[in-house]
Amino acid sequence: MSDPNRAAEKLTLIQLLPNMLTVIAICAGMTAVRFGLQGSYEIAVQLILLAAVLDGMDGRLARALKSESGMGAELDSLADFFNFGVAPGMLLYTWALEDSSNFGWLAVLAFAVCACVRLARFNVQRKSEDKAHDNAYFTGVPSPAGALLVMLPMFLSFGLGTGPFLPDLMLSLWIVLVGLSMISRFPTWSFKTTRIPRKSAKFFLVAVALAGAAAVTYAWITLVILCVAYIATVIVMLPRSKRRIGGDRGAD
């Protein structure tokens, strides 16, 4: 007779699929660094974008399959740190800052540390028994969005067909600013809880189709527009940020 306890310890390939996506995302991030060191920056950025897409899929797939696990969550967090904290900074450094003074490397280090702190804080909040926080908002810019924002100068350069156009100091300041936005306390919009009214669903689908067509035809310019739109969304959320911070201080 087969032991039911042993059978319960076994996982199907479908249940392992979320972890497989996470591992593929790590491979994409590692390969992005390799292509960046070889000077193939567009391919490297595309691989980080692929890692961001996979990051958006693995957690939702794990919840849908009821295969969430502590190991999967930790693996996802480590993948996020490398793909969105280390790899983008390395690309920017080899792309434009390698010949700069030490402040270029210090900016990359600051960004990586901010991404690490951001993910550590997120893990603590996720494991906390206090579930009173608003799930419609993140605290600070999430690491995948931070990776896209920090690569905005690269998107602009690829879209305009030019090389690095920002002075080294200005690019370094941008990297640090994006890093600080990840560890900030202001709320940023989470798309996880967004609901579309039924009457507006058809217009939303048309908009998604147009955005997809634009992303295929004018990939880099579309990414620039998306980054600028996200920054505008964060700025619009700043008044809510002040009210939320004031409420947190009043509760202490």
Q: Is residue 2 a part of any domain in this protein?
A: no
- Which CATH number goes with the domain that contains 105? 1.20.120.1760
With a pLDDT cut of 90, the percent of the chain lying above it is: 48
In a domain, 208, yes or no: yes
Q: Give the separation between CA 18 and CA 68, rounded to whole angstroms.
A: 9
Predicted confidence (pLDDT) per residue in 187-230, tens digit: 887 776 677 788 888 888 888 888 888 888 899 999 999 999 99
Rounded Cα distance between 148 and 106, Å, is: 20
> Could you tell me if residue 96 is inside a domain?
yes
Beta carbons within 8 Å of 51's beta carbon, 6+ residues apart = 25, 26, 28, 29, 32, 79, 83, 84, 87
Burial class (CB in 10 A: 0-12, 13-18, 19+), 16: middle
Beta-bridge partners for 189: 137
Q: pLDDT per position in the chain (252 positions), as tens?
A: 445 455 456 767 777 888 899 999 999 999 999 999 999 999 999 999 999 999 988 878 887 777 777 788 888 999 999 999 999 999 999 999 988 878 999 999 999 999 999 999 888 877 765 554 556 678 889 999 999 999 999 999 999 988 888 999 999 999 999 999 999 988 887 776 677 788 888 888 888 888 888 888 899 999 999 999 999 988 887 766 555 544 444 333
The answer to whether residue 3 sits within a structural domain is no
CA dihedral 182, 186, 191, 194 (to 10 degrees): 180
From the CB of residue 231, how many other CB atoms can be counted at a distance below 10 Å?
Answer: 16
Structural domain of 109: 10-251
Q: Is residue 174 part of a domain?
A: yes
What Å distances lie between residue 80 and 59, 164, 218, CA to CA?
12, 26, 27
**Is 230 domain-assigned?**
yes
